[in-house]
Structure 1
Amino acid sequence: MSKRPAPPLPERLAPLIDAHTHLDACGAQDPSADGGASVAAIVDRAAAVGVGRVVTIADDLQAARFAVAAANSDPRVYAATALHPTRADALDDAARAELERLTEDPRVVAVGETGLDWYWPGRLDGCAEPQVQVEAFRWHIDLAKRRGLPVMIHNRDADADVLRILAEEGAPETVIFHCFSSGPETARACIDAGYVLSFSGTVSFKNARGTRDAAQLVPAGQLMVETDAPFLTPHPYRGAPNESYCLPYTVRALAEIRGEDPVETARATTATAERVYRLA
């Protein structure tokens, strides 16, 4: 838990959609339990600064159940469900059946986050091995195609393999690279394939040169923004707790990098999110 205080509310910037957050990890309680109003409290704080809608993401089955419950408890919340690649060894028959069921909920707007993570194997006890991650990724791609949903990609140190598997499997109509943190070469490959690139607070970090260069290349129609809260709080609050209300900090940093008016960036990213998640 961060010892830094939470960032202050930024100046309002609207309209915005937080394309990827983790409300449960931000402290929200299950809406069916006592204290469930904290989902609304988090979204209220976001709405006060122009972030009118959020997509809360699953990384395990408990989080998937929570995401669907949260999305059904508040009309400003939508859900994505999957098993995170580092937890892919939990994708047994029962987990597959439950994810199949959860993705039938109309409040689920994407399958995610799934993909490949080559950073944690060997560093994190219990992390799924690479071949297990690959098999789970292929299954999630298939699920997204069968449901007609976007697939939301977690990619860490696995650029070539992620792009290869998407090509081998045949990508769903919509592919979202969440928290895009690669460089211009991978960005160009994604853009050429028609994929959507979503940028988090990482793009505001001065040492993230490759990501900042990549952000300048993305057409407005393939660009989204996210917090990945409670992680990746944007500069100058790096290391402090993150939440959806912090998104305007990231958008203003992204707009500066792209040479745009922040209002223009906000409108463009919102239009992309509405189209991708079919919210309009």
Structure 2
Amino acid sequence: MTPRKGERPPLPEPLEVSIVDAHTHLDACGAKDSAGVSTVVDRAESVGVTRVITVADDLDSARWAAEASTWDDRVFAAVALHPTRTSTFGDTEKAVLEELAAGERVVAVGETGLDYYWDYSPPDAQQEAFRWHIDLAKRIGKPLMIHDRDAHEDIARILDEEGAPETVVFHCFSGDAEFARRCVDAGYVLSFAGTVTFRNATTLREAASLVPSYQILVETDAPFLTPHPYRGRPNEPYCAAYTLRDLAQVRGENEVELAAAVQANADRVFRLKTVTSSDIGGRAR
């Protein structure tokens, strides 16, 4: 029987070395409370995806992500206003995000950046908000998590003009090999989602093959961008294992070595080792 398109992909074989899903949206995956969060992360942990970073795109999801990170010690948060939400971005939004971003289990400012694909927010408003988020990341000393859709040149220009934070992560990297080299040379970290597994993503796969092992992360962006061969079906953090394995093949690397590298990178980039279970009293179950 052929699985229905709306069904989740099957659980993959567990990874030998655990990894972090560097960018997901647990609320959009249907995890509305602590029990739902633990259910989703339990599935991920069963295949070796042992920690996740749940990411906000508006103020409500930013509040939710920050709170959800206190429910389960495998969950961390990133908060920002998505570029498509920046048509209204004033003192209220800034005050809320500043307070949330300071939280101990909020490990990044994101996702922020530019999106020229959707016509939801004017480019000028997006760029102004992006500059503010860059400043916030620098002031609080946390990584900047970038959303870049059809906006490579303006993203690079604004980072140069403002002065990039110490750590910059290109979430769901979508550039070609040339842009990847520019980002690598600038010291940025490139995070690859299920799109890198798509068989028609030739230029993206070329880009992924040249990123140094110490500048690469793996993510799902769940519930979106489900990896091949389950494209179009609902994504979840456990599917990062599929992407990791495919990425290892693209790069001609050993799966275990790549998993160890992306795990170490996530710990370093987001300083996960400094945020322990004692901060929230242990794992939620």
In structure 1, give the amino acid aligned to 2:265.
T
**Secondary structure in structure 2 of the residue aligned to 1:44:** helix
Letter in 1 for 2:14: R
Amino acid in the other structure paired with 2:60: Q
Tell me the residue number matched to 1:235. Answer: 228
CA displacement at 1:91 relative to structure 2: 1.7
> Is 1:98 matched with 2:96?
yes
Give the TM-score of the pair, scaled to structure 1.
0.95
1:109 Cα offset (Å):
0.3
Distance in 2 (CA, whole Å) between partners of 1:3 and 1:214 is: 30
> 1:56 is matched with which residue?
54
Aligned partner letter, 2:68:
A
The answer on 1:19 being equivalent to 2:22 is yes
Question: What is the letter of the counterpart of residue 145 of structure 1?
Answer: K
Q: Which residues of 2 match residues 70-81 of structure 1 at below 5 A?
A: 70-81=68-79
Paired position in structure 1 for 2:279 = none
Which of 127, 147, 151 is the matching residue for 2:144? 151
SS at match of 1:73: coil
Give, in whole Å, the separation in 2 of the partners of 1:142 and 1:230.
29
Deviation track 1:38-70 (CA, whole Å, cap 9, x = no partner) reads 000000000000011000000000110010011
Q: Distance in 1 between matches of 2:264 and 2:86?
A: 32
Give 3-state SS (helix, strand or coil) of 1:213's partner. helix
Partner Cα separation in structure 2 for residue 55 and residue 138 of structure 1 = 23
Q: Distance in 2 between matches of 1:263 and 1:228?
A: 22
CA positional deviation for 1:6 = 0.8
Please name the residue that 2:245 is paired with.
252
Q: Deviations over 1:59-97 (max 9, x none)?
A: 000110010011011110000000000001232111100
TM-score between both structures, scaled by the size of structure 2: 0.93
**Matched residue of 1:56: which SS?**
strand
Gaps of 5+ in 2: 274-285
Partner SS, residue 70 of structure 2:
helix
Structure 2 match to 1:6: 8
For 2:156 and 2:54, the matched residues in 1 are separated by 25
Q: Does 1:275 align with 2:268?
A: yes
Q: Secondary structure at the match of 1:89?
A: coil
Distance in 2 separating the partners of 1:157 and 1:95: 25
**CA–CA distance in structure 1, aligned partners of residues 64 and 267 of structure 2:** 22
CA distance in 1, matches of 2:155, 2:62: 23
Mapped to 2, the partners of 1:248 and 1:170 lie a distance apart of: 34
Aligned to 1:69: 67
1:188 matches 2:181: yes
**1:15, distance to aligned residue in structure 2 (A):** 1.1
1:181 positional shift = 1.2
Distance in 2 between residues matched to 1:84 and 1:278, nearest whole Å: 23
C-alpha distance in structure 2 between counterparts of 1:70 and 1:91, whole Å = 24
Shift of 1:165: 0.2
C-alpha distance in 2 between matches for 1:181 and 1:89:
24
Q: Distance in 2 between matches of 1:7 and 1:223?
A: 25
Percent identity reads 63
Amino acid at match of 1:143: L
1:20-39 to structure 2, matched below 5 A, reads 20-29=23-32, 31=33, 36-39=34-37
Residue aligning to 1:124: none
Shift of 1:3: 3.7
Structure 1 regions of 5+ residues with no counterpart? 122-126
- Further displaced range: 19-28 or 3-12: 3-12
**1:263, CA displacement in angstroms?**
1.0
Q: Tell me which stretches of 4 or more aligned residues in structure 1 moved more than 6 Å.
A: none
Aligned to 1:197: 190
Q: Which amino acid aligns with 2:29?
A: C
Whole-angstrom distance in 1 between the partners of 2:88 and 2:214: 35
The number of aligned residues is 269
Answer yes or no: is 1:109 the counterpart of 2:111.
no
Q: Is it true that 1:214 corresponds to 2:207 in the alignment?
A: yes
Q: For the aligned residues, what is the CA RMSD?
A: 0.9
